[in-house]
C-alpha cells in the first residue's frame, strides 16, 4: 500500500469542495443497479478515509439515504454525484467519485464490483479483478 495523500475535489459548479485522505491512487467500478441509476452509468469511485475528510464548501451538499445502511452525497445546485458513505458510521467509510477529484487522471482502475448486476449493453476491456455481490459483501463482513 502506498502512503496516504490528501487530494482535493468538488462538484461541477463549485458549491461543494472537499479534501480527503486517499490511501491508494486507485478506483473501483461498481455495476450495481443503484449506482448505475444514480450516476447514469457504472459508478467509478475511490475508497477514502472518512475520518479525516474535510468539506471546505458545502452550500450545495445534500445526502440521500438510498438504503438502510448507506447514503449518497451530491450537489443540489449542479447535480454532481460526489460521495457514498455508511449512514450510521460515516467516518468509517467514504467513497468518492473518481471524477470529482481535481486530478482524476492519477488514479488507476483496480477492480470491478457487483459484476453480476452488470447489464450486457456495455463491457470494459481490462483484466482487473471482477467481484460479484456475494464476494463484495463477504469482504465487508471480514473487515468488520
Over 60: is that where the pLDDT of 135 sits? yes
DSSP H helices, 22-132, are: 33-39
Element of type H or E holding 116: none
Question: For the segment 64-101, what is each residue's pLDDT rounded down to a tens digit?
Answer: 998 998 999 999 999 999 999 999 988 888 999 999 99
pLDDT at 141 (0 to 100):
78
Which value, to the nearest 10 degrees, does the dihedral of the CA atoms of residues 22, 71, 136, 3 take?
Answer: 10
pLDDT at 50 (0 to 100):
81
DSSP for 7-27, written as a single string? EEEE-SSSSEEEEEEESSSEE
pLDDT at 80 (0 to 100):
97
- Mean pLDDT, residues 101-105 taken together: 97
Q: CB within 8 A of 59, min separation 6: which ones?
A: 15, 16, 77
Question: For the segment 20-46, what is each residue's pLDDT rounded down to a tens digit?
Answer: 999 999 999 999 999 999 999 999 999
| pLDDT confidence bin for 1, thresholds 50/70/90 | very low
Cα distances (Å, whole numbers) of residue 28 to 24, 57, 114, 128: 11, 26, 11, 10
pLDDT at 99 (0 to 100):
97
Taking the C-alpha atoms of residue 54 and residue 24, their distance in angstroms, rounded to an integer, is 18
- Core vs surface per residue 86-110: b (16+ CB within 10 A) or e: beeebeebbbbbbbbbeeeeebeee
List the single range of 2-6, 50-54, 64-68, 135-139 with lowest mean pLDDT: 2-6
Q: Note the pTM of the prediction, 2 decimals.
A: 0.91
Q: What is the 8-class DSSP label of residue 93?
A: -
pLDDT at 52 (0 to 100):
84
Return the CATH fold of 5-143: 2.170.150
How is the chain split into domains, by residue range? 5-143
Amino acid at each position: 500500500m502506498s502512503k496516504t495523500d490528501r487530494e482535493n475535489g468538488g462538484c461541477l459548479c463549485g458549491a461543494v469542495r472537499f479534501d480527503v485522505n486517499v490511501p491508494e491512487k486507485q478506483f473501483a467500478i461498481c455495476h450495481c443497479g443503484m449506482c448505475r441509476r444514480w450516476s447514469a452509468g457504472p459508478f467509478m469511485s475511490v475508497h477514502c478515509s472518512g475520518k479525516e475528510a474535510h468539506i471546505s464548501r458545502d452550500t450545495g451538499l445534500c445526502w440521500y439515504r438510498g438504503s438502510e445502511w448507506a447514503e449518497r452525497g451530491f450537489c443540489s445546485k449542479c447535480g454532481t454525484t460526489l460521495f457514498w458513505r455508511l449512514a450510521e458510521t460515516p467516518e468509517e467509510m467514504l467513497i468518492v467519485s473518481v471524477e470529482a477529484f481535481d486530478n482524476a487522471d492519477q488514479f488507476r482502475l483496480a477492480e470491478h464490483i457487483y459484476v453480476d448486476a452488470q447489464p450486457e449493453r456495455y463491457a470494459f476491456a481490462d483484466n482487473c479483478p471482477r467481484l460479484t455481490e456475494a464476494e463484495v459483501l463477504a469482504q465487508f463482513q471480514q473487515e468488520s
